[in-house]
Amino acid sequence: MGKLRIMTHNVWKRDENQPAWEAKGDDCSAPVRAKGMVQVYMDTKPDVIGCQEMSPLMADEILRGLAAQGEHYALLWGRDTPIMYRPDRFELLDSDFLVYPKEVPGFEGKFNNGGTKSWCIAVLRDKTDGKKFAFMSTHLWWKNGDPGAYNYQEGSHEARVYQLNMAMDRLEEFNRKYDCPVILVGDLNAEYNKPAIQSALERGFLHAHNIATEFADNDWGYHYCFGDGYKPYVERPFELALDHILVKFAPEGFVRRFERYTPDYYLPLSDHSPAFVDVVL
């Protein structure tokens, strides 16, 4: 298998324009923002994209926009966490989808707002050489587990650890079945030093940033973009990032490049900038 570009991208689930945007002469509706997403993919040329907060309308607009530019992707639907991949290069061997349970053992309350927190898995085989990998797009619970935070909910750190361990268990099952590397990407709603990411590292998953052999972006890839408008991008350390790419069972030198894409035109598209890796099996 040659070089392969894999991306994680939270596209912000907002189908209709908002009054605050309209008052400023802006438009955050999915059809308008999808044009920018198409430009992102045309600029970066990912082979596989793990999406989060994807609505059916946004998916339709993006896929049709890409096709109009001569770029064709297949969509493995997984509600808010679907996977897009190039069908001319990859054959889909297997797949799985799960909405995380609302309850977390030992804690009161719900930990899946609107059933939006889920995973989607694709096992893909390169048509040129038959090499395989298992790829997961996921989105974890969002509230803060630190007392005093404005969006604090007790058990939030534990909820993300619980969900992420479910996801890693499933990926390891696919590894045993297909004897291939596994790649987990998504909006994990956890900073690097928080319990969720640390639990993944303890299980032998490696962060793509830490094992990139050629380049590792040290920025966080996040900015303000919500229903009341958007603000300029401000660089902050990698450790504060919420969007991550984790790998396991991969050969040495697997990750060559880890990067976040933050051009100025991206500011009104989503609060999460896409992150991608170049890998070689």
CATH number, domain with residue 203: 3.60.10.10
pLDDT computed for residue 2 by the predictor:
79
pLDDT tens track for 213-234: 999 999 999 999 999 999 999 9
Identify whether the C-beta of residue 181 lies closer than 8 Å to the C-beta of residue 254. yes
Mean pLDDT calculated for residue range 14-34: 98
Domain limits for position 164: 4-279
What's the total number of domains in the chain?
Answer: 1
Identify whether the C-beta of residue 208 lies closer than 8 Å to the C-beta of residue 277. yes
Half-sphere exposure of residue 281, counting CA atoms within 13 Å on the CB side? 21
pLDDT tens track for 179-225: 999 999 999 999 999 999 999 999 999 999 999 999 999 999 999 99
Identify whether the C-beta of residue 91 lies closer than 8 Å to the C-beta of residue 146. no
Identify whether the C-beta of residue 179 lies closer than 8 Å to the C-beta of residue 128. no
Mean pLDDT calculated for residue range 29-44: 98
Mean pLDDT calculated for residue range 238-253: 97
Residue 68 has pLDDT above 90, yes or no: yes
Residue 30 has pLDDT above 60, yes or no: yes
19 three-state secondary structure: helix
Residue 1 has pLDDT above 70, yes or no: no
pLDDT computed for residue 185 by the predictor:
99
Cα separation of 110 and 103, whole Å? 5
Residue 133 has pLDDT above 70, yes or no: yes
Q: What percent of the chain is modeled with pLDDT above 70?
A: 100
pLDDT tens track for 157-176: 999 999 999 999 999 999 99
| Predicted confidence band of residue 281 (pLDDT cuts 50, 70, 90) | confident
Q: pTM of this prediction?
A: 0.98
- What mean pLDDT, rounded, does the chain reach? 97
Q: Which residues have C-beta within 8 Å of that of residue 67, sequence separation ≥ 6?
A: none
Cα separation of 133 and 174, whole Å? 9
